[in-house]
Amino acid sequence: MSVDDAARRAEQLRREIETHDRAYYERDASTISDAAYDALFRELQALEAEYPALSTPDSPTRRVGGRPLAQFETVAHAVPMLSIQTETDTGASGAEQFDARIRRELELSGAAPPVEYAAELKFDGLAVSLRYEHGLFAQGATRGDGVNGEDVTQNLKTLHDVPLRLQGVAPPVLEVRGEVYMRRDDLARYNQSARARGEKPLVNPRNGAAGSIRQLDPAIAANRPLKFFAYGLGAVEGWNPPATHRELLDALADFGFPVCEHRIVARGWRALAGFHDRMGEQRAQIPFDFDGVVYKVNSLALQNRLGFRSREPRWAVAHKYPAEEARTVVTAIDVQVGRTGALTPVAKLRPVFVGGVTVTNATLHNEDEARRKDVRVGDTVIVRRAGDVIPEIVNVVPEERPLARMRFRGRKAYLSALETLRAFGMRKISGPYLRRMPRHPAFQLPETCPECGSRVVREEGGAIARCAGGLVCPAQLKGALLHFASRRAMDIEGLGEKLVEQIIAGGHVKTPAGLYALTLPMLATLERMGRKSAANLLAAIEKSKATTLARLIFALGIRNVGESTAKDLAQYFGKLDALSQASAEALEKVPDVGAIVAESILDFFAEAHNREVIECLVAAGVRWPENEGRAGAPPGPFSGKTFVLTGALPTLKRDDAKALIENAGGKVSGSVSRKTDYVVAGEEAGSKLDKARELGIDILDETGLLQQLKGD
């Protein structure tokens, strides 16, 4: 066969295979036997092997998967892949609230006609972005953090739903956003085959889709029944999109992308709520998983006008369905200590499959919540899981609670038990009541931390109980070390998260004071830590010994004591001993220190473990000048004034503006209140500016701030 004949045959085979693929994967119609299809495919493979120049980027043979990768490369999204706000009200009022927000943003009167929306399913899979250059599939990426994703081009090429070449006239650049998913019946067939091969089955369609696309070996993705739906755009060059979202989806379908048929254009919230209800009723019949409906303003011009808030579009919302629920039994209640010292009761559950995964734990949030729901060991409970949200216990099934079987040795013991209960105010007590008492007691948090034995404290009126041993608690150690070494605290350059993890794992440091006992041989053995890097870190640790009282107070990580409050405390008390021995009344005389902050300071210094760490810091050579207050210093132009910064200033960075204000005797607060004197507002100032206007507080821009500083 000549080269020209081979080229013509290869092109014919590609088009023929593409036609059969489209019929099979898009219309679920088989137009050729498996044996005949395999023969065509093998013939094309043989031709491309014999004549490598005939292998084109859009050849069906590219779908079998390339070589395994060592790791995924990072892809910067030209247009960020933003998340969509979730409407947690699962009733019709969820659609009504979204519509009300849109009308308010568009400044529509009550007499204005209904807004036109597009409504489509919220797929339960993996969001990806497909980039096409001059009609050819060039790159595929995961969402990642919305700004940067992972390059999964090889894996996405294995999906028959993803066109390798666009149909029709293609623009120079077209990025299409969509979802990789699995049908439930495809997953069932795959798992059946996997079990027959002795392989581990996939847990659910969502995990199967996400896990397949993130395999380093594309042959694995090629073997999985993955599908794709397109639902939006990223970067576009050389093409003017249609005027509406519905027309955009139609245009994507014309390019060859699969677009979900379950979508409508609706006017007003009632039509949206109706579509939400209809799709909810059909969830069991639709062959793939979805957990809600996405509402979007249909007009792309109005979408541009509405814009974005933070990392979410104002013109769209995901209206979820109620979470899935299941029944199981509580086998134990453990207490976990978080990185901030918060104690969280966690119910250990008899394993139950709910929301697509096997659940063995459920958070009880805090002691009040556990007591309110009255969750006890042995209870039968209803567990809810929605998406990736941590499973929670909805309620207890009281009629299935295990009861005590109380036996009494004689009438005297029985009467004694009755009297004991009556002494606690339980008047209407009878013998049968004693046999109906719960077998297990109500949950109660321990008085000491299960990790370090320090006292457990709880702010008055607060729901969260915390370990007071912030400097010694193993559960809080990583956060304590990172905070202690941060730039505004002790400023230990080079002590990052990975290094802290290694130091803790090696048992080298158990409190912040342990940093000053690190040695060169000890550090040089750590991963990616040569002698030069170790020496630089030790030099930074040594340098940090000379600090200020304000920095030290901030570095201690006392709850509710931020950088600004630490400066106020240092200025007011002048000595650490004076601060550590201060009463609540003395503490509350410090500007902006109220009862909650004072209580946090008292709890911190009341813990002997924390005082021991401070003594160790002093013994290690940490020093600071005493009497740091401004006593005797001339008052600055901002003396006694409180400022709040919001938005981006034209030339001043936030830290620079803060330093200017504080050096002039002023105070910078993080929130607006009636005690605020000025709000300094820059670009994209948010709710703080709104509140300032509401309270009638003076508002300055950068120029006004600098003029005030000069006394103009």
pLDDT digits (tens, 9 = 90+) for 194-209: 888 878 788 778 888 8
pLDDT for the residue 631: 43
- Tell me if 375 sits within 8 A of 396, measured CB to CB: yes
pLDDT of residue 215: 85
What CATH number is given for 94-320 in this structure?
3.30.470.30
pLDDT of the residue at 32: 75
**pLDDT given at position 583:** 92
Do 452-633 and 642-710 agree at the fold level? no
d(CA 418, CA 681): 68
Mean pLDDT of 491-509: 89
Rounded-to-integer distance, Cα 240 and Cα 229, Å = 22
Q: Taking 90 as the threshold, does the pLDDT of residue 672 lie above it?
A: no
The strand pairing partners of 151, in sequence order, are 141
Q: Residue 527: its pLDDT value, please?
A: 81
| β-bridge mates for residue 119, sequence order | 264, 295
Is residue 660 predicted with pLDDT exceeding 70?
yes
Report pLDDT for 94: 92
Residue range 676-685, pLDDT digits in tens: 999 999 887 8
Higher-pLDDT residue of 69 and 94 is 94
- Confidence band for 617, pLDDT divided at 50, 70 and 90: very high
Alpha-carbon span 416 to 425, nearest angstrom: 15
Q: What's the pLDDT at 49?
A: 80
pLDDT tens per residue across span 384-412 = 876 555 788 888 988 888 876 656 666 77
State residue 387's pLDDT score: 53
User: 3-class DSSP state for residue 662?
Assistant: helix
Question: What pLDDT digit, counting tens, does each position of 521-555 carry?
Answer: 888 888 878 888 889 999 999 999 999 999 999 99
Tens digits of residue pLDDT in 6-37: 888 888 888 888 787 776 655 556 677 767 77
Q: With the C-alpha atoms ordered 418, 424, 429, 433, is the resulting torsion angle positive or negative?
A: negative
Give me the mean pLDDT over the 117-133 stretch: 94
Instruction: Determine the average pLDDT of the residues in 553-558.
Output: 93
pLDDT tens-digit readout, 340-369: 788 999 999 999 887 667 889 998 888 888
Average pLDDT over all residues of the chain: 86
For the residues of 534-593, what is the DSSP string, one character each? Answer: HHHHHHHHHHTTB--HHHHHHHTT-TT--HHHHHHHHHHH-SHHHHHT--HHHHTTSTT-
pLDDT value, residue 630: 46
Domain 452-633: give its CATH code: 1.10.150.20
The pLDDT-based confidence of 261 (bands split at 50, 70, 90) is very high
Domain 324-400, CATH among 2.40.50.140, 3.30.1330.10, 2.30.29.30, 3.20.20.10: 2.40.50.140
Share of the chain above pLDDT 70, in %: 90
Question: In three state form, how does the secondary structure of 19-68 look?
Answer: HHHHHHHHCCCCCCCHHHHHHHHHHHHHHHHHCHHHCCCCCHHHHHCCCC
Residue type, 626: E
pLDDT band at 627 (very low <50, low <70, confident <90, very high): low
Whether 700 contacts 681, CB under 8 Å = yes
Q: What value does the mean pLDDT take over residues 609-634?
A: 78
| Distance separating alpha carbons of residues 320 and 292, to the nearest angstrom | 4
Q: Mean per-residue pLDDT for 510-526?
A: 90
Residue 378 phi/psi, 5-degree rounding, is: 90, -10
More confident residue, 494 or 310: 494
Question: What integer pLDDT is reported at residue 379 of this predicted model?
Answer: 92
pLDDT band (50, 70, 90) for residue 326? confident
Q: Which residue has the higher pLDDT, 124 or 254?
A: 254
Q: Which is higher by pLDDT, 692 or 323?
A: 692
**Closest by Cα among 304, 302, 58 to 165:** 58
| Six token digits for residue 5 | 């004949």
Which tens digits make up the pLDDT trace of 365-376? 888 888 888 999
Pick among 3.40.50.720, 3.40.50.300, 3.40.50.10190, 3.40.640.10: CATH of 642-710: 3.40.50.10190
pLDDT of residue 519: 92
Q: Is the pLDDT of residue 633 over 50?
A: no
pLDDT in tens, 569-599: 998 888 999 999 999 999 988 877 888 889 8
**Which CATH number applies to 3-63?**
1.10.287.610
Mean pLDDT value of segment 687-695: 87
DSSP 428-474: S--HHHHTTSBSSPPP---SB-TTT-PBEEE-TT-S-EEES-TTT-G
Domain boundaries, given as residue ranges, for the chain: 3-63, 94-320, 324-400, 452-633, 642-710
Which is nearest to 599 in space by CA: 553, 560, 565, 566?
Answer: 560
413 has pLDDT over 80: no
Active site residues: 122
